[in-house]
């Protein structure tokens, strides 16, 4: 019995679609880990292709077929291959792939050296159109920031907040996720930890107080470090401070081409 292919029927509205596909499909994946070689985690996939105006639809099941073949090989080096496979399998001009996943790093408390797992949200973002490959990495890192204004005007103490710093970047040579995460943490008023004992709490409180930073300071300091890295060819830095005494967040954003 012949089954009709509705997606391949002609469409007469003369409108190209930039991205069409599947969004939010979760799959177990493996990513490179600087310490242990490979880390098993869960990827949240968005997979798209371009669709010419003449076709009514795309074949959604083919995205999953490609995912089935490559999910255990996810990494920066294999990304172009996956994009080419998506484009070829769906007979498209352009292919797009985004994979967001939790990435875990063993982290020691600053004084007691108590070990615990810190989780960071990371994303691989890739597009392929013709021979033009665009690949980017994004990391989201929670940090502490302490308000310089509050410290300057207060007789005792200063207010601080948890901040989320998001860096998206393109590079020339390979970059470990851990390297970018450490750069961001090293720039903030203080790190955030999963496990702190009382001596550690004393340290992080005093360390943040000694390193006050506005949200503007956060993005500028990180941008300065990235500008000095010849391996980074493009980046954006954004920081959001979830204010502890205001009913709003503070936000700053920087974008640079090198």
Tokens linked to 75 = 């990494």
Cα-based distances in Å from 41 to 24, 28, 89, 181: 15, 6, 26, 17
Q: Where are the beta strands (DSSP E) in 130-248?
A: 132-146, 160-171, 190-191, 232-242
- 3-class DSSP assignment, residue 12: coil
Contact 160, 208 (CB under 8 A): yes
d(CA 204, CA 11): 61
Q: What is the pLDDT of residue 224?
A: 96
In a domain, 128, yes or no: yes
Contact 105, 82 (CB under 8 A): no
pLDDT by residue (tens digit) across 89-127?
A: 888 889 999 999 999 999 999 999 999 999 999 999 999
Which residue would you say has higher pLDDT here, 92 or 72?
92
In a domain, 53, yes or no: yes
What percent of the chain shows pLDDT beyond 70? 93
Contact 74, 97 (CB under 8 A): no
Give the residue-averaged pLDDT of 126-153. 92
pLDDT at 75 over 80: no
pLDDT band at 245; cut points 50, 70, 90: confident
The enclosing domain of 240 has a CATH number of 3.10.270.10
In a domain, 36, yes or no: yes
pLDDT at 4 over 70: no
In a domain, 3, yes or no: no
pLDDT band at 174; cut points 50, 70, 90: confident
- 3-class DSSP assignment, residue 184: helix
- Cβ-based neighbours of 209, under 8 Å, separated by 6 or more: 146, 151, 157, 158
Q: What is the pLDDT of residue 140?
A: 98
In a domain, 33, yes or no: yes
Domain range for 127 is 13-257
In a domain, 243, yes or no: yes
The predicted model scores a pTM of 0.89
pLDDT at 11 over 60: no
d(CA 249, CA 145): 12
Q: Where are the beta strands (DSSP E) in 5-130?
A: 17-33, 37-51, 94-108, 115-129
In a domain, 166, yes or no: yes
pLDDT by residue (tens digit) across 46-64?
A: 999 888 767 776 778 888 8
Q: What is the pLDDT of residue 258?
A: 67
Number of structural domains, the chain?
Answer: 1
Q: Which residue has the tokens 């600053």?
A: 110
Q: What is the pLDDT of residue 210?
A: 94
């Amino acid at each position: 019995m012949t089954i009709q292919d509705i997606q391949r029927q002609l469409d007469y509205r003369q409108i190209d679609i930039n991205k069409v596909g599947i969004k939010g499909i979760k799959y177990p994946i493996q990513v490179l880990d600087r310490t242990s070689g490979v880390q098993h985690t869960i990827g949240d996939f968005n997979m798209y292709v371009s669709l010419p105006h003449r076709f009514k639809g795309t074949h959604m099941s083919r995205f999953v077929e490609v995912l089935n073949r490559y999910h255990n090989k996810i990494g920066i080096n294999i990304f172009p291959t996956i994009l080419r496979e998506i484009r070829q399998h769906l007979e498209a001009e352009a292919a797009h792939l985004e994979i967001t996943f939790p990435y875990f790093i063993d982290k020691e408390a600053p004084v007691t050296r108590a070990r615990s797992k810190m989780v960071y949200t990371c994303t691989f973002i890739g597009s392929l159109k013709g021979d033009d490959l665009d690949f980017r990495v994004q990391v989201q890192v929670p940090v502490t920031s302490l308000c310089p204004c509050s410290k300057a005007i207060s007789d005792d103490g200063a207010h601080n907040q948890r901040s989320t710093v998001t860096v998206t970047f393109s590079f020339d040579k390979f970059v470990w996720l851990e390297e970018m995460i450490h750069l961001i943490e090293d720039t903030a008023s203080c790190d955030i930890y999963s496990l702190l004992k009382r001596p550690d709490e004393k340290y992080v409180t005093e360390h943040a107080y000694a390193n006050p930073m506005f949200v503007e300071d956060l993005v500028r300091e990180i941008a300065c470090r990235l500008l000095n890295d010849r391996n980074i060819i493009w980046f954006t830095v954004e920081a959001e401070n979830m204010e502890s005494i205001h009913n709003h967040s503070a936000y700053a954003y920087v974008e640079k081409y090198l």
